[in-house]
Structure 1
Amino acid sequence: MPHHQGNQTALELLQAKQFKGQVAAIAAYPDQLAELEEMGVSAAFNIYSEAGSGFARHVCEQLQPNLK
């Protein structure tokens, strides 16, 4: 979900229902990552840093550049 408050609310609802699975979340800022981890998220990712590596991977797959 793109909004930090939505991630927090969803996690609180899952915890209230005693969900035992792993939960991954995205955040835009380092302090949001820390908050989500403190709340019990199994994995939290910065959407901007992950987007950059994802874009690079996609470009390499699509364009198949000669990187030699």
Structure 2
Amino acid sequence: MYDCKLFFIDGQWVEPIHTSTLDVVDPATEQAVGVISLGTPDDLDKAVRAARCAFTSFSQTSRQ
């Protein structure tokens, strides 16, 4: 069973703001296969800001 309670944002593994989690269930067997963290709107805002920043610099690179 995997346990993924961190988010990968801006090139780093970071802890979510809250500690709420969700069991991930295999629909074929109905067995729990892992646990993931539930993000908050603030976690999402951090990820979107990092993605926008990365896109701005990436989109200006040449194709060569």
TM-score, structure 2 length as denominator? 0.33
Structure with bigger helix share is: 1
Structure with bigger strand share is: 2
- Higher RCO, 1 or 2 (CA under 8 Å, sep at least 6)? 2
TM-score, structure 1 length as denominator? 0.32
